[in-house]
Amino acid sequence: MDQPAAENGIVQGGLTNLHAVAPTSLLGEALYYLHGQWLKLIRFLKSDTWPLDSSPVENATPHCIGVTES
């Protein structure tokens, strides 16, 4: 699946030089993981199914057990 240049900008800018990073380093592991998940991330961000706002979850659960808000 080909991506338009605008969506591919971060990949073109940062992930095209993966060969310069040791894959076993922490940075290398993170970049290789991001590279493998990139299409899924783009698909998620384009979808209107799930909002990026976590406020409903944060408001539904107390921050500390046993502490009530006044």
CB atoms within 10 A of CB 19: 7
Q: What is the pLDDT of residue 12?
A: 47
pTM of the full predicted structure? 0.53
Q: What is the pLDDT of residue 41?
A: 84
Q: What is the pLDDT of residue 54?
A: 73
C-alpha to C-alpha distance for 59 and 64, rounded to whole angstroms: 12
Q: What is the pLDDT of residue 46?
A: 85
User: CB-based contacts of 38: which residues, under 8 Å, 6+ apart?
Assistant: 11, 15
Q: How many CA atoms lie within 13 A of 66 on its CB side?
A: 0
Query: What's CA 18's distance to the chain center, in Å?
Result: 18
How do the domains of the chain map onto residue ranges? Answer: 9-60
Q: What is the pLDDT along the chain (70 residues), one digit of tens a residue?
A: 455 554 555 554 457 777 888 889 999 899 889 888 888 888 888 888 877 777 777 777 666 666 666 5
